[in-house]
Amino acid sequence: MTNPSLLILPGDGIGPEVMAEVRKIIDWIGDKRGVTFDVSEDLVGGAAYDKHGVPLADETMAKAQEVDAVLLGAVGGPKYDDLDFSVKPERGLLRLRKEMDLYSNLRPAQCFDALADFSSLKRDIVSGLDIMIVRELTSGVYFGEPRGIFEENGERVGINTQRYTETEIERGARSAFELAMKRNKRLCSMEKANVMESGILWREVVTRVGKDYPEVELSHMYADNGAMQLVRAPKQFDVIYTDNLFGDILSDCAAMLTGSLGMLPSASLGAPMANGRPKALYEPVHGSAPDIAGEGKANPCACILSFAMALRYSFDMGDEADRLEAAVEKVLADGVRTGDLSNEEGVKPVSTSDMGDAVIAALNANL
């Protein structure tokens, strides 16, 4: 059997700093769990621009298409703000998403008990929260035609079009059902079938796909009610599947229920590869944090938890993913805090590297 392969793209700003901590975990898994990853590392974003004059070299793109999973740190920074749009660091990330055709964006909202007081909601509403929002990423109103600003009857009119094909709805739905099978087997689909034809089709297609997953309990909710329910009683959900626009808003809303940007992982998945697992890009939700870059202050947990998602969804190592998440939870419960999490009285923040070491220590304690 060949080793699982992983392409690491640390990127810019705090990207390389948080990625160094993931490297420790990859080494730990090799040493202690006997799984060796074929890891290759390359440049993306400003770092790639500095070397190649483009934010993602063709060879890097080709490599990304070959590996089992890509793990990205972050891209961008003030140094690149004045670059032409076509070579901006973010374009590197967009190229990856587009050419890998990553249509399913997974945004977990997980609230570790030790951080429940960081939430804007009451502790008992969010403590232990563990939901997953699956957002369709490649279609819908951000891409639909016609679009533009036109003249009509002597005034301007701005037009965007919500457009979904059955294929687009179905492939995202399948990935959401597959996830639900690996979790608590509940899926809530959100649209506005009451006022939008694309929503009627959405509901029909998701219902049809659901017949292939009889073990998953499927429900439907209007997205506006979904927004209310997310802040009223978020723990009622397991997996939520929704379109690009609603998903953009609902996933940001759900993420903030849990506290800090430094804790939030994500995954973007595409079509199944020959090995049956989806094409996949994993990355923290946060950016390159130029305000703290190079100071060893960044919280590596979002990147570490993104790697945990890779273990679960790309490498069939769900047990190791659970173990890694439990290690992060233990470290937080022990009061270890990077700066972004240490606004409590008397808590001295630890460095990025100390946080990574603490996670390794917790892994060792629970071999």
Pick out the residues of the known binding site for Mg(2+): 224, 248, 252
DSSP-based three-state secondary structure for 239: strand
Quick check: is 12 catalytic?
Answer: no
- For the CB of residue 341, give the shortest distance to ligand NAI in the complex, in Å: 8
Residues 231-250 that bind Mg ion (CB under 5 A): 248
Quick check: is 103 catalytic?
Answer: no
The item of Mg ion, ligand NAI, none sharing an interface with residue 248, based on CB under 5 to 8 Å by kind, is Mg ion
Quick check: is 224 catalytic?
Answer: yes
75 lies in the binding site for ligand NAI (CB under 6 A): yes
- Residue least distant from Mg ion (Cβ): 248
Per CB under 6 A, the list member of 10, 76, 172, 247 interacting with ligand NAI is 76
Helices (DSSP H) in 268-343: which residue ranges? 301-313, 318-333
**Catalytic: which of 252, 316, 354, 357?**
252
- The region of 104-112, 216-224, 245-253, 282-290 touching ligand NAI under the rule CB under 6 A is 282-290
What's the token pair of residue 183? 């979790």
The item of ligand NAI, Mg ion, none sharing an interface with residue 291, based on CB under 5 to 8 Å by kind, is ligand NAI
Contact 145, 161 (CB under 8 A): yes
Provide the sign of the torsion angle of the four alpha carbons 336, 341, 344, 348, taken in this order. positive
What is the C-alpha separation between 181 and 156, in angstroms, rounded? 48
- The region of 32-40, 166-174, 241-249, 288-296 touching ligand NAI under the rule CB under 6 A is 288-296
Nearest to 237 by CA among 176, 195, 173, 170: 176
What is the C-alpha separation between 287 and 289, in angstroms, rounded? 6
- The region of 50-58, 118-126, 168-176, 294-302 touching ligand NAI under the rule CB under 6 A is 294-302
**Catalytic: which of 192, 213, 313, 340?**
192
- The region of 26-34, 96-104, 213-221, 290-298 touching ligand NAI under the rule CB under 6 A is 290-298
Q: Which residue has the tokens 């759900």?
A: 254
Quick check: is 142 catalytic?
Answer: yes
Torsion of CA 163, 166, 172, 178, to 10 degrees: 160
Beta-bridge partner residues of 70: 7, 281
Task: State which residue, 42 or 340, has the beta carbon closest to ligand NAI.
Answer: 340
What is the C-alpha separation between 326 and 114, in angstroms, rounded? 12
Nearest to 36 by CA among 7, 3, 8, 66: 3
The item of Mg ion, ligand NAI, none sharing an interface with residue 302, based on CB under 5 to 8 Å by kind, is ligand NAI
- For the CB of residue 252, give the shortest distance to Mg ion in the complex, in Å: 5
Burial state string for 125-159 with b = 16 or more CB within 10 A and e = fewer than 16: bbbebbbbbbbbbbbbbeebeeeeeeeeeeeeeee
Task: List the end-to-end C-alpha distance of the chain, in Å, as a whole number.
Answer: 25
Which residues are known binding-site members?
77-90, 97, 107, 135, 224, 248, 252, 287-299
The item of ligand NAI, Mg ion, none sharing an interface with residue 76, based on CB under 5 to 8 Å by kind, is ligand NAI
What is the C-alpha separation between 276 and 174, in angstroms, rounded? 13
Helices (DSSP H) in the chain: which residue ranges? 15-33, 46-52, 58-66, 89-99, 123-126, 166-182, 197-210, 223-232, 244-256, 301-313, 318-333, 352-365
- For the CB of residue 230, give the shortest distance to ligand NAI in the complex, in Å: 22
Which residues are known binding-site members for substrate?
97, 107, 135, 224
Nearest to 242 by CA among 199, 179, 286: 199
Quick check: is 241 catalytic?
Answer: no
340 lies in the binding site for ligand NAI (CB under 6 A): yes
Which residues are known binding-site members for NAD(+)?
77-90, 287-299
Amino acid at 75: V
The item of Mg ion, ligand NAI, none sharing an interface with residue 75, based on CB under 5 to 8 Å by kind, is ligand NAI
- The region of 71-79, 141-149, 167-175, 315-323 touching ligand NAI under the rule CB under 6 A is 71-79
**Contacting residues toward ligand NAI, per CB under 6 A:** 14, 18, 74-77, 90, 93, 261-262, 283, 286-292, 298-299, 302, 338, 340
List the catalytic residues. 142, 192, 224, 248, 252
**Contacting residues toward Mg ion, per CB under 5 A:** 248, 252
